[in-house]
Amino acid sequence: MKPIRDLSRAVTMPFTALFVVGLCAVINAMTSPGQWWFQWVALGMGIATIVALAKGLRVALALGLVAFVGWWLYRRYGAAARDTFAAWAAQSQPRAADVLRRVMAMPAQTVR
């Protein structure tokens, strides 16, 4: 799942479909006006547009769910939980002195 690509295609695919179908309709009208083959292009582009919109809706719903859960957790537990998490995150990150000590203790061939 590539959310940015899915959202951008959900927005741009209808315009792309209109352009492609319109161009094919003009070509069809100029080359063979009695046989309307561009309708099959319209069918294919319609299916592609529906799929792109469905993927974009899936991403939007997932983002909405994450935002709702975050809002609910913040409302339920408030700033105290945020401060507790920030303190935990500060403790879990390696200190610069620890990193340097571990790098200096490595054998020379592993450090490049």
Q: List strand residue ranges (DSSP E) for 20-105, in order.
A: none
**pLDDT given for residue 97 in this prediction:** 59
- Give tens-digit pLDDT for 24-60: 999 999 999 889 999 999 999 999 999 999 999 999 9
Give the closest residue to 2 by CA, choosing from 56, 80, 64: 56
Residue type, 42: A
Tokens of 56: 């974009």
For residue 48, count CB atoms less than 10 angstroms from its CB and return exposed for 0-12, middle for 13-18, buried for 19 or more. middle
Provide CB contacts within 8 A for 16, sequence distance 6+: 45
Residue 36 phi/psi, 5-degree rounding, is: -95, 90
DSSP 85: H
The tens digit of pLDDT for each residue in 70-100 reads 888 888 888 888 788 777 766 766 665 566 6
Predicted model pTM = 0.64
Domain limits, the chain? 3-79
Rounded CA-CA distance 38/101 in Å is 69
Contact present, 27 and 10 (Cβ < 8 Å): no
